[in-house]
Amino acid sequence: MGVSRSNRPYSLAKIAGIEMCWSYNRQYGTKYLAVMPTNLYGPGDNYHLDNSHVIPALIRKFHEAMRANVKEVVVWGTGTLKREFLYSEDMSDARVYLMNLQNNSFDGLLGSDESVSGKFEPPLVNIGVGEYINIGELATLVKQVVGYTGEIISES
């Protein structure tokens, strides 16, 4: 399947960060850990319609439609794609928690080298809540919170 062109720089940066942590740990005996968030939302987010995250883009779409009395809002795709979301301040709490772990707890998160365990386990922790919502349900929720009364149209 591959990585979409728009996500390629982000994907490569994540891979480079994980590899850098692993390489430093191996070469210098450091204890660096790559921490990967799921889709974040929260204070200071970007509400630009063309380049923002999903939740702020939906909030803006529905708010503008409500103010302009537009009868329908188009939501990207079929609405069936599922995503996991995390409040940005919860991500901050998770990072602080990880930084304050005692060495014996932290060491178990550092992964392992192929030459030691027979398999490569990167020094990586994914931070999320483990609950997914499809974009159609999310759009309906944002519509209700904003107070928009028009229709949602899927762009499929």
Active-site residue, from 10, 24, 41, 148: 10
Position 96: which residue type?
Answer: V
d(CA 8, CA 50) in angstroms, rounded, equals: 18
Percent of the chain with pLDDT over 90: 62
Question: Which H/E stretch holds residue 47?
Answer: none
Half-sphere exposure of 44 (CA within 13 A, CB side): 4
Domains of the chain as residue ranges with CATH: 34-155 (3.90.25.10)
The pLDDT of residue 61: 96
- Six token digits for residue 59: 């909030």
For 110-123, write each residue's pLDDT tens digit: 777 666 666 777 88
Q: What is the pTM of this model?
A: 0.79
Q: Is 10 a catalytic residue?
A: yes
